[in-house]
Structure 1
Amino acid sequence: MTHSPVIRPTRLLLALLLAFGLSACASMGSAPAPGATASEPAADAGLDDDVIPDDRLPSQPLTDELLLRFLVGDIALQRDRPQLAAQTWHDLAQKTRDPRVARRATEIAIGSGQLSMARDDAQRWIDAVPESIAARQVMLSLLIRANRLDEAKPHIQALLAAQPQEIAPFFLQMHMLWDKNTDREAALRLTEELTTPYPQLAEARFARAVALANVGRIDDALKELGEANRIKPDWEPAILYRAQLMGKSSTPQARIDYLKSAEGKLPKSMALRSALAREYVEAGQLAGALKVYDEMLALQPNNLEALTGSGLVALQLHDLGTAEKRLSRATELAPQQTGNLRYYLGQIAEERYRFAEARDWYDGVDGEFKPSADKRLVRVLARLGDIDGAQAQLKAIPAPTDEAKVEKLQLEATIWREAGQYRRGYDVLSDGLKRFPGNADLIYDRSLFADLLGNYAEAEAELRRYLALEPDSAIGQNALGYSLANRSTPADTARLAEAQQLLDAAIAKEPDNPTVLDSLGWLRYRQGKLAEARALLEKAYARMPDPEIGTHLGEVLWQQGDKSAAQALFDTAARLDPKSEILRETVQRLGAK
């Protein structure tokens, strides 16, 4: 495992990374991932500023033979024969000892992938103009690429001597030079040799810490960070990297306490606040994370990380209003970087029964979440009444595995459920069970369709069959518990007791799940415990204002005599889901409007 802190590159590091064929952004992933994999060195990166003094140019007459060789090299390039071109220019560099020719030979050798030849040409370039920063940068990149770090030291020393103002920033960012193939032990040796003259430079201690961590010497790395903080008290990079290295050797709460203490000394540090919020999330302390993100947004309302982080945390807390507001703002600020957020915004719109809006969000999803968005789009199109569109969308989804084939069967059944063709959905699942006998997901879904068709005994039997396959499933426990409660009267004590047992098990696993809270509330209603039922249903509805939960709460309020509040809930449910069968049945039975 490698440990690379997130650092923004300065000018010297940027030049080296460009010479190495890297983009600076590609190297700045989330800690503790290693730096980005290096590609071939760029042929012309960082060379345009290389000025060769006239007195370094050899007195070499341009003979006919030399002119012919130059023409051969250029024609070879024009005719897409890079190996011949590289060899020709390599020979010319050797013959002329002209730094301009050596530079050109280096470029062509790199471009043709002949890196050994490129090193030879770059060395001739350096021999001719030792003070050339561009030549040193290219040579250094070639040596790193070849894992010849022991030869890199003089070139780094020369670069630092030419740019002493870059010494501290270079050490802070030195780890960005290594890719996944770098010999980490060699990198540690080089780091120690280069930093030895600077024992009182915090950045040098930081460079040692990173190199030590990357060979697994975490305790030694932490000692170096301690020295860095002794030299520079309350230095943000060392604090953040220490928290990162604490990793699995400490509890999440220990990292939180450490970062909170540091943040108290550096209250304006957005980086520390971000790290603290991420630790809260990692520890499952979502309310703490949201509080930190809110503090960040109070200082920087358009902070993209805080908007995204707080939006996703709010979504987990089922605070859909906050989630939608924050994630929408993030997509407005950075539309090219936030394609995945459209998936979550689609979920929010879908949960709020705004299906046309959900369709538009899912259509705009790109990247890793696109397959999931495409699947959710099937149901959304069906909810919008576009059955042909839903079927076309489903057909376009690949199914290379049995698991994917089962998922497509479930989606097909969903289309017919939204279309009100319950028998057709039931038959799809039944056919699926012939192809995949004993598949728990298909059994669960078929139980729901059996219930919709009024086959309550079959629905219950299928749920029991599902739980026999998945005995710890909170979803199954909730479904069977609700079914038993919904089909029982207060006199059915045995069935209500079983429902209680199932729902207690489900709520123990998912204490904040609004669907389980709804089931428990409905069980209390069936038991005649109206006050308890109301409290549970109000909690569920606050977390998820779903029409079915609202209908259940409305019925409890109606029975308590608060008919105006109940009617308001029925009206809201009707606006959200005019086709709700539970709402229609409840309103008719109660004589409500």
Structure 2
Amino acid sequence: MNTRPLLLAVLLPLVLGACAQTAKRPTAEAAGAPEKAVARAEEAPRTPPLPEVELTGQIAYQLLLAEVAAQRGDFGLSSAAYLDLAQSTRDPRIAKRAAEIASFSRQNEQALQATQLWLELDPESIQARQMLSGLLVNANRPQELEPQLAALLAQEGVQIGESLLRLNRVLARLSDKSEARRMVLRLTEPYLEYPEAWFARAQSALLARDSKSGFDEASKALELRPEWEAALLMKAQAQSETDPHAATRLMGDYLKRYPEAREVRLQYARMLVAERNFPEARRQFEAVMGNAPNNPDVVFAVGVLAMQMQDYAGAQTYFKKLLTLRHPDPNLIKLYLGQLAEELKQPDEALGWYKDVGQGEHYMGAQGRYVLLLSRMGRLDEARAHLRDMAARSPADAARAAMMEFQLLRDADRADEANKVLEDALAAQPDNPDLLYETAMVAERRHDVALAEQRLRRLIEVKPDHAHAYNALGYSLADRNERLDEAQALIARGLELAPDDPFILDSMGWVLFRRGDLNGALTYLQRAFDIRPDPEIAAHLGEVQWLLGRREEAEKLWRTVAAQHPDNAALEATIKRFLP
């Protein structure tokens, strides 16, 4: 053998190294691998087995061709040239380069082929096996993936626990969660003396919607490591699927033994909130806050609980503190502070907080509360001036501002002025959907059915997916017992757009009632009432029940809902017709 193999050993690192300086280096992550796989993140420096290959002109040419192509962005040509060269030279370094470039350029099949060759040429390469595992996950090929993961786990030694915990993240992209679950069971079988193996099993069970196995396997993990917070939370999660209260008790008992378990205490507090045990939930959040007084999430949770418990002064203290902690949504905090100031009879402070809410998700809500509070303070003209100034500064808010002004004037028994505000706003924006709908409802209440229908039909033209426009027009016709075929078709269209809307379901029930289909009406009205026990829906449902001979049921329904809504005129009128 002459010096040519040595020349190859010198030339190849120089060429491959040059690419790192001239082109973005493709990596296993570029292949879209969900994890670094389960092995160690870094492979210890080692020299792979290298072949004795004579450096020929053809080899040198292919190396240079592949690199020049990569530098010019022609990754298809580059990876193909490298793969061909790797197959002929059997050099693992070239196979690695082919795999990296193919992965980077999303040539998945070629990347798989190159990576398999790389691993064949260097069976001890953790990096090659990691890359192959990621590619097989992305290709959804679990049968080929499993032996690679088993080999990676076998290489882990003392780091096996950490890798077992990553196992489910590695398998997350597999489409068949049951197969992923079975794979986890098989892969963890040699490592059952480690609590992480049982944790991985519990996690896979929950992903496969097997809460019983998840509970049992998390329990095994806790037997091996009783203080492990993550395992306790996994066990509680599994139990909450069937018995949320038992899951809450489980966390409470755990905290008696391990009172410093912060994550468990946080979840315990959240579970108490879900159970509406606000006093105990607040105590738990305050306990967490004792160790983390500047945690915005915890301070926010305690503030909200204080509000729910009507401790407005306490809540105000917490929310003011949040502003100093740079809460990610300061406008929400200011909105809450305005509401708290109102509850504490501090109207001027409340106005200041509302006015300080900036543009964004909470802006219009704050403006609405601002002008409503001004009106309640006897400063209606000031409130109207604020709304008009707001509309002038932001034409996009003009329609909302007009509707707010309309509501203020209507509440002040100035109906004519209120209606003029809406009509003027509509004249300025004749195709605004909100204004068309609101003015149609005003016309309906004033019994100007022709104008109401005209506005609703125009709204349907402007916004064909406005479910409540179809519903309002259809219900108006049904309530007057007119054009029932058209009314039913309109309401049916509304239901297509919003199939679970209780008011549209109520309208369908009412049009069927008008058509004499009492059983069909009952089905829709009962469903509407189950979704929303509204007094007007109760009036319709009770009337149909009464006419079907279910009079005791109707009377019980009416009296129950009337006790909850004593001022509802529609329900009261219905009851008087049947129970004078």
Structure 1 381/63 Cα, relative in aligned 2: closer, same or farther at 3 Å? farther
Q: Secondary structure at the match of 1:233?
A: coil
Measure how far apart 1:418 and its partner are: 12
Structure 1 stretches lacking a partner, 5+ long: 1-17, 22-37, 364-369, 399-404, 445-466, 475-500, 509-593
CA distance in 1 between counterparts of 2:412 and 2:125 reads: 73
Return the letter of the residue paired with 2:254: A
CA distance in 2 between counterparts of 1:274 and 1:214 reads: 23
Structure 1 473/302 Cα, relative in aligned 2: closer, same or farther at 3 Å? same
Structure 1 178/396 Cα, relative in aligned 2: closer, same or farther at 3 Å? farther
Alignment of 1:223-242 (within 5 A): 223-242=216-235
Alignment match, 1:298: 290
Q: Determine if the alignment matches structure 1 residue 289 to structure 2 residue 348.
A: no
CA distance in 1 between counterparts of 2:443 and 2:127 reads: 62
Alignment match, 1:279: 271
Per-residue Cα deviation, 1:24-45 (whole angstroms, up to 9, x for no partner): xxxxxxxxxxxxxx956699xx
By relative contact order (CA 8 Å, sep 6+), the higher-ranking structure is 1
Aligned counterpart for 2:304 among listed residues 296, 312, 321: 312
Alignment match, 1:88: 81
Measure how far apart 1:219 and its partner are: 1.6
Return the letter of the residue paired with 1:362: G
Aligned counterpart for 1:410 among listed residues 397, 403, 406: 403
Measure how far apart 1:412 and its partner are: 5.9
Alignment match, 2:358: 362
Structure 2 stretches lacking a partner, 5+ long: 1-26, 342-346, 375-382, 427-433, 447-502, 508-528, 536-559, 568-580
Return the letter of the residue paired with 1:133: I
Measure how far apart 1:101 and its partner are: 2.0
Moved more, 429-438 or 115-124: 429-438
Alignment of 1:250-261 (within 5 A): 250=243, 252-261=244-253
Alignment match, 1:477: none
Alignment match, 1:396: 396
Per-residue Cα deviation, 1:134-173 (whole angstroms, up to 9, x for no partner): 2222221111112222223333333333332221222234
Q: Secondary structure at the match of 1:362?
A: coil
Alignment match, 1:115: 108
Return the letter of the residue paired with 2:302: S
Aligned counterpart for 1:190 among listed residues 183, 187, 191: 183
Q: Determine if the alignment matches structure 1 residue 105 to structure 2 residue 164.
A: no
Q: Determine if the alignment matches structure 1 residue 427 to structure 2 residue 420.
A: yes
8 A Cα contact 2:34 2:169, kept in partner: no
Alignment of 1:100-499 (within 5 A): 100-179=93-172, 181-250=174-243, 252-327=244-319, 329-330=321-322, 332-333=324-325, 335=326, 338-340=327-329, 342-349=331-338, 352=341, 353=347, 354-363=350-359, 370=360, 372-376=361-365, 378-379=367-368, 387=387, 390-391=390-391, 395-396=395-396, 410-411=403-404, 413=406, 425-429=418-422, 435-436=437-438, 439=441
Per-residue Cα deviation, 1:389-408 (whole angstroms, up to 9, x for no partner): 5215764369xxxxxx8x67
CA distance in 1 between counterparts of 2:245 and 2:288 reads: 21
Supply the RMSD in Å over aligned alpha carbons.
4.5
CA distance in 1 between counterparts of 2:40 and 2:107 reads: 19
8 A Cα contact 2:177 2:207, kept in partner: yes
Moved more, 382-391 or 241-250: 382-391
Per-residue Cα deviation, 1:444-463 (whole angstroms, up to 9, x for no partner): 9xxxxxxxxxxxxxxxxxxx
Moved more, 65-74 or 100-109: 65-74
TM-score (norm 1): 0.58
Structure 1 301/89 Cα, relative in aligned 2: closer, same or farther at 3 Å? same
CA distance in 2 between counterparts of 1:48 and 1:217 reads: 31
8 A Cα contact 2:35 2:169, kept in partner: no
Structure 1 116/261 Cα, relative in aligned 2: closer, same or farther at 3 Å? same
Measure how far apart 1:278 and its partner are: 0.7
Alignment match, 1:582: none
Q: Secondary structure at the match of 1:240?
A: helix
Per-residue Cα deviation, 1:343-388 (whole angstroms, up to 9, x for no partner): 233332365354454454434xxxxxx4x32423544786786546
Return the letter of the residue paired with 1:302: N
Structure 1 387/212 Cα, relative in aligned 2: closer, same or farther at 3 Å? closer
Return the letter of the residue paired with 2:65: V
8 A Cα contact 1:172 1:204, kept in partner: yes
8 A Cα contact 1:150 1:190, kept in partner: no
Moved more, 214-223 or 261-270: 214-223
Per-residue Cα deviation, 1:169-200 (whole angstroms, up to 9, x for no partner): 22234222233553212211221111111233
8 A Cα contact 1:122 1:139, kept in partner: yes
CA distance in 2 between counterparts of 1:302 and 1:115 reads: 47
CA distance in 1 between counterparts of 2:182 and 2:70 reads: 40
8 A Cα contact 2:409 2:418, kept in partner: yes
What percent of counterpart residues are identical? Answer: 25
Measure how far apart 1:89 and its partner are: 2.8
CA distance in 2 between counterparts of 1:425 and 1:307 reads: 43
Aligned residues: 410
TM-score (norm 2): 0.59
Larger of the two Rg values belongs to structure: 2
Alignment match, 1:541: none
Alignment match, 1:65: 58
CA distance in 1 between counterparts of 2:284 and 2:222 reads: 25
Q: Secondary structure at the match of 2:358?
A: helix
Structure 1 374/95 Cα, relative in aligned 2: closer, same or farther at 3 Å? farther
Structure 1 188/472 Cα, relative in aligned 2: closer, same or farther at 3 Å? closer
Moved more, 232-241 or 415-424: 415-424
Return the letter of the residue paired with 1:300: A
